[in-house]
Structure 1
Amino acid sequence: MAKTIFITGASRGFGKIWAEAFLKRGDKVVATARNTTSLNDLVEQYGDAILPLQLDVNDRAAGFAAVKQAQQKFGSIDVLINNAGYGLFGTIEETSEQEARDQIETNVFGLLWLTQAVLPVMRQQGHGHIIQISSVLGVATLPVLGVYNASKFAVEGLSETLAAEVAGFGIKVTLVEPNGFSTDWAGASAAQSQTMPEYDGVKAAFQAGLTDDSFGKPEATTPAILKLVDAENPPLRLFLGKVALPWVKQVYANRLATWEEWADVATAAHGH
């Protein structure tokens, strides 16, 4: 059965690939971007099935207006995919105040505003699926991406809480956690902090850990996203790519070992 899907950050990368896949199979798509000219090819091909909307997700009022426009056009919004966001490369010390604020503003608050905007629509419908594009870096971290890591950890906590709050309304929530993919996320879409030579060694080690096999093919994610959107009982969390799960299993094993090692100290701190 055809769905109406609202997707942010649809001008390129995952957003554009997925928007096209939804349209190709007969879904209706509300595609937002800061600049909608990159969606002209989809409008030409799919006509009224796509509603391109210019949107800066940081503008809360504009987000609510976009959701209202989408509802007026298609009557319902079955799925929201909060895909808009970008990476900030720089160590914690290198990151300026403005860079940090901008990163959190888009990756966390932008996602929060659209989530808040769509909830009344989905509650009224009695169903809906909110898909938050997080990252494997929302459950494990890499150096040189500290504030980005922090933004995705925030998305994880916010969305896990949301899932518990809205389950009674028939609304599902899924956190999609891709590992690295060969999009321009680390290229044209990224922001870079001013470098400090003191961190050259850290950055060299970070680069040395990356191989061609570390990055998945963006187009290969399409079947997974279509399956997720169609799932009657979608998971709260879904990795994309083959690197994420083995890495996170190791990270969590290390965390559990450390907590166990300090368990006596932790228990004594309870006081009784």
Structure 2
Amino acid sequence: MNKIVFITGASKGFGRLWAEALLKRGDKVAATARNIAALENLKDKYGDQILPIILDVNNRAEVFEVTQQIVKHFGRIDVLINNAGYGLFGTTEETTEQQAREQMETNFFGSLWVAQAVLPVMRKQGSGHIIQISSFLGLTTLPLLGLYNASKFAVEGLIETIGSETAHLGIKTSLIEPNGFATDWAGASAVQTTSDIEDYNPVRAAFNESGENPDTWGKPEATVKPILELIDNQNPPQRLLLGKIAYHTINEAYLKRLTDIQEWKEVSISAHGH
């Protein structure tokens, strides 16, 4: 059965790649972005299968209006791929208030507004799948990405909670946690803080050196099959790591967390008081 999929941030990167893959196999896609000019060739090729709509996820009222427009056009929303977001690079100390607020506004609040807009639709249907693009940096951290890390940690808690609140209504949630991929996420789409404090130069140098290894960056096209498999699965996982860096990094991080938890078990239990 063909699905109706609502994708935010669909003009480039993962959003564009997955939208095209869904259209190619016969699904219908509501593709939203702040600039939909990049979707014109998909509209030419797939016609009524795709509904390109301008959307700024930071505008809550606009998010609700666009969601209703999608329902009116296609009749339902089977899958939401909440993909809009960007990276903010730089040390935490050097991040301005405006940069911090804008990062949270798009990555966290934008995701919240879209989820809130889609949930009434899915509740009425008695079915739906919310797929939230997070990051492996929603489960661990890297230096120079403090606010990005924080936004994704927040998104993780948000979507996991929605999943626990809506499971009895037939609504499923999944968090996608990619490592770095060769999209423009770290390029044109990224925002950079100032870097005037020399004390952080060693951290910046190490970070830049790690990014020079081509093996660090996954191939975006390799994510298509896993995403389609996730969408088609009747019992999708709550979390899906994408990429070998993500898998090995998170596996190691969680093993260390469990070790620390066990080592401090008696102290933790004694803190309960009875």
TM superposition shift of 1:203: 1.1
Q: List gaps (5 residues or longer) in structure 2.
A: none
TM superposition shift of 1:265: 2.1
Q: Which runs of 4+ in 1 moved over 3 A?
A: none
Aligned to 1:42: 42
CA distance in 1, matches of 2:269, 2:76: 50
Q: Which amino acid aligns with 1:223?
A: K
Number of residues paired by the alignment?
A: 272
TM superposition shift of 1:261: 2.3
TM superposition shift of 1:253: 1.5
Q: Which amino acid aligns with 2:146?
A: G
Give the TM-score normalised by the residue count of structure 2. 0.97
Aligned to 1:27: 27
Post-superposition CA distance 1:35-90 (Å, at most 9, x none): 11111111111111111110100000000001000000000100000000000001
TM superposition shift of 1:240: 0.8
What is the SS of the residue equivalent to 1:209? helix
1:248 equivalent among 247, 250, 258: 250
Aligned to 2:232: 230
The farther-off stretch of 63-72 and 260-269 is: 260-269
Q: Which amino acid aligns with 1:23?
A: L
Post-superposition CA distance 1:101-147 (Å, at most 9, x none): 00000000000000000001111111100000000000011000011
TM superposition shift of 1:9: 0.2
TM superposition shift of 1:15: 0.4
TM superposition shift of 1:270: 1.2
CA distance in 2, matches of 1:220, 1:97: 37
CA distance in 1, matches of 2:199, 2:34: 36
Aligned to 2:151: 151
Q: List gaps (5 residues or longer) in structure 1.
A: none
The farther-off stretch of 121-130 and 198-207 is: 198-207
Let me know the Cα RMSD of the aligned residues.
0.9
Give the TM-score normalised by the residue count of structure 1. 0.98
Map 1:109-148 onto structure 2 (within 5 A).
Answer: 109-148=109-148
CA distance in 2, matches of 1:255, 1:75: 45
Percent identical pairs in the alignment equals 62
CA distance in 2, matches of 1:256, 1:4: 40
Q: Which amino acid aligns with 2:138?
A: G
TM superposition shift of 1:264: 2.4
CA distance in 1, matches of 2:237, 2:256: 25
Map 1:1-272 onto structure 2 (within 5 A).
Answer: 1-195=1-195, 196-210=197-211, 211-272=213-274
